[in-house]
Structure 1
Amino acid sequence: MPQNPIVQFIKKNFTGASITVTLVNGQTISGEIVDGFDDIIALKSGTTVTFINSFFIVTFV
């Protein structure tokens, strides 16, 4: 399965950078981009890695 365009963009341009994503429910999650595949990006904060489905991302900074 090819990567979702937003996952591809974030992984290509921001791997190693810290970002904050806002989800459709208004929740924000911050962390360092450590991976991305298919429709998923992975953010690491401390020792926790959070996998986020790109369809739930409204914005990121």
Structure 2
Amino acid sequence: MDGSTVTVTTTDATTIEVTSRGSVSDLKAGSTVTVRGERGADGTMSATAITRTGGGR
């Protein structure tokens, strides 16, 4: 991340994903998520960010 300009090429097989801010209520049981945060000694996660991945429900 040095401020350089990079040319990116794409093909018909290139996937593009767009995310937007959400809230906890946007997450449904069974959703696939990626969680960033700290794991506590008891195994629980204190999330700093959650990203819903895949198709969701």
- TM bucket by the smaller chain? under 0.3
Q: Which structure would you say has the larger Rg?
A: 2
**Higher helix fraction (1 or 2):** 1
TM-score (norm 2): 0.25
* Greater relative CO, 1 or 2 (CA 8 Å, sep 6+): 1
TM-score (norm 1): 0.24
**Higher strand fraction (1 or 2):** 1
